[in-house]
A = this chain, B = another copy of it.
Amino acid sequence: MLPNIEKVELQAMLDWLAGYGADEQGGVTRLLYDHAWCDAQHALAVKMQEKGLAAEFDQSGNLFGTLKADSGSSVTNGEHNLPIVTGSHIDSVVHGGKYDGAYGVAAGILALEYLKQQFGVPRRTLQVVSLCEEEGSRFPFAYWGSRSITGAACLDDVRELRDAAGARFEDAMTQAGFGPDSNYRSAKRHIGAFIELHIEQGQVLERLGHSIGIVSAIVGQKRFSVTVGGEANHAGTTPMIWRKDALAGAADMISAVRRIALQAGHPLVATVGQVIPDPGVGNVVAGRAVFSLDIRHIQQESMEQCWKQMLEAFTTIAEEHELELEWEEHLSVAPTSMDARIIHDIQEICLQEQLSSYLMASGAGHDSQIFQSACPTAMLFVPSCSGISHNPLEFTSEEDLMRGFRVLVRLLYKYGYGS
């Protein structure tokens, strides 16, 4: 049995890591293969080595720190030989916070250091990974790190993508020292299990007063662009009854989205975050309005049902207003369930640690949803202060960070050192 886990330098490591790509607002901007990202990833390799882990990059730029099992161990042969991997990503959104992704990486490194110091060589290989990319904030491609490890994506899928400045994906990768011509190993590899520790990026744990969120499933997403076509007209000279006001129609539709989502009930969420009227001038009746629609649920069927209801409502509204209606689905991600056995183990650890845990859906996407198709995968959340994320104000207290850390250490101990 583990002794009480004392405070480790987790907060200090997050502060240190946030120095790479630090912006004036106290936030972090580390985009795939940019300078801040390269410096951070190489500094983490050094840090892993200092902590007694073998550090190794792959061709995508993922960084693994390994605590290798005893070669004579009974679990080093066959399927059971595959390493247990923890970690997360170090890339950020533009002006992001210092916890998103970074927390899982730092906690993983310190967990392996702690376990090595306390218990020496494990019976099963443990690894921490600093994934190269999750956010999709430089190139229009998210989860590059985990997708290249699991084989869900390869260089051919991203090679010709361009960032906002016009840089080619492959060129950016090569300039950062990675890619097929580098001396690193290919990214694709088999792993035994993936465990991701992450901030919640929502308010559920904080509001309900829980310390640990155990992710049951990561929501699926459907994203649409809805276009309402009317007739641009002079705001003074066009009587109300003759108008085909695209924005008035869009407004009715946006109201309908909220009404239908509320009726569907938790955990369904549906959001219109953007609407663009055209010409978008105060004294012109809008001839066109385009709005975004984001629907999420842990069940595919519920998402489909909700979209169907919304589309029916949109169609009725368009007819009432004599407007045209077009829509385009530009993202469709299926929900994914986390591994039931690992969830059970985490629940047990939380009981032992006397931590209030809460089984919940993740409303945000994470690398875990990619790993889930390749190996047993689980995800742990700690509270996010006011749910703020992707923002310099992102914050989780050191106490909460340490609670998640303790659960991670006990879980890795169980899988790495247990019989």
The reply to whether A387 and B239 contact each other, CB–CB distance below 8 Å, is no
- B-side contacts of A267, CB under 8 Å: 239
Q: What are 23 inter-chain pairs, A to B, with CB distance below 8 A? A: A201-B234, A202-B233, A202-B236, A202-B238, A207-B242, A223-B283, A234-B363, A234-B387, A234-B390, A235-B294, A236-B269, A236-B294, A237-B387, A238-B269, A239-B269, A240-B270, A245-B258, A247-B275, A248-B254, A252-B255, A271-B283, A271-B285, A282-B294
Given the known A-B contacts A201-B237, A237-B364, A238-B202, are A223 and B282 also in contact in the complex, defined by CB atoms under 8 Å? yes
C-beta contact mask, A223-243 vs B, less than 8 Å → 1, else 0?
Answer: 100000000011111111110
**A372-B325 Cα distance, complex, nearest whole Å:** 45
Q: Is A251 an interface residue (CB 8 A)?
A: yes
- B-side contacts of A233, CB under 8 Å: 202-203, 387
Q: Is A204 an interface residue (CB 8 A)?
A: yes
The reply to whether B247 and A273 contact each other, CB–CB distance below 8 Å, is yes
- B-side contacts of A221, CB under 8 Å: 236
Q: Which of A242, A258, A267, A279 has the most CB of B within 10 A?
A: A258
Q: Is A8 an interface residue (CB 8 A)?
A: no
Q: Is A26 an interface residue (CB 8 A)?
A: no
Residue count of chain A within 8 Å CB distance of chain B: 62
In chain A between 265 and 294, which residues have their CB closer than 8 angstroms to a CB of chain B? 266-275, 277, 279-286, 292-294
The reply to whether A238 and B363 contact each other, CB–CB distance below 8 Å, is yes
**A270-B268 Cα distance, complex, nearest whole Å:** 35
Q: Is A362 an interface residue (CB 8 A)?
A: yes
The reply to whether B294 and A273 contact each other, CB–CB distance below 8 Å, is no
Q: Is A379 an interface residue (CB 8 A)?
A: no
Q: Is A134 an interface residue (CB 8 A)?
A: no
The reply to whether A292 and B282 contact each other, CB–CB distance below 8 Å, is yes
Q: Is A402 an interface residue (CB 8 A)?
A: no
**A66-B262 Cα distance, complex, nearest whole Å:** 69
- B-side contacts of A63, CB under 8 Å: none
- B-side contacts of A277, CB under 8 Å: 273-275
The reply to whether A268 and B240 contact each other, CB–CB distance below 8 Å, is yes
**Nearest B residue (CB) for A360:** B237
List the interface of chain A (C-beta within 8 A of B): 200-204, 207, 219, 221, 223, 233-242, 245, 247-248, 250-255, 257-258, 261-262, 266-275, 277, 279-286, 292-294, 296, 362-365, 387, 389-390
The reply to whether A247 and B242 contact each other, CB–CB distance below 8 Å, is no
The reply to whether B266 and A241 contact each other, CB–CB distance below 8 Å, is yes
- B-side contacts of A293, CB under 8 Å: 282
- B-side contacts of A271, CB under 8 Å: 235, 245, 282-285
Q: Which of A221, A284, A296 has the most CB of B within 10 A?
A: A284
The reply to whether A240 and B255 contact each other, CB–CB distance below 8 Å, is no
The reply to whether B272 and A247 contact each other, CB–CB distance below 8 Å, is yes
Q: Which of A203, A250, A271 has the most CB of B within 10 A?
A: A271
- B-side contacts of A266, CB under 8 Å: 239-241
The reply to whether B363 and A237 contact each other, CB–CB distance below 8 Å, is yes
The reply to whether A362 and B237 contact each other, CB–CB distance below 8 Å, is yes
**Nearest B residue (CB) for A207:** B242
Q: Name A255's contact: one of B201, B248, B281 (CB within 8 Å).
A: B248
- B-side contacts of A270, CB under 8 Å: 240
The reply to whether B239 and A247 contact each other, CB–CB distance below 8 Å, is no
Q: Which of A202, A203, A252, A255 has the most CB of B within 10 A?
A: A255
Q: Which of A203, A247, A387 has the most CB of B within 10 A?
A: A247
Q: Name A204's contact: one of B239, B251, B279, B285 (CB within 8 Å).
A: B239
Q: Which of A221, A248, A279 has the most CB of B within 10 A?
A: A248
The reply to whether B258 and A248 contact each other, CB–CB distance below 8 Å, is yes
- B-side contacts of A285, CB under 8 Å: 271, 273
**A293-B248 Cα distance, complex, nearest whole Å:** 12
The 9 closest A-B pairs by CB, nearest first: A202-B237, A236-B363, A282-B292, A251-B254, A235-B271, A237-B363, A251-B251, A236-B364, A248-B258
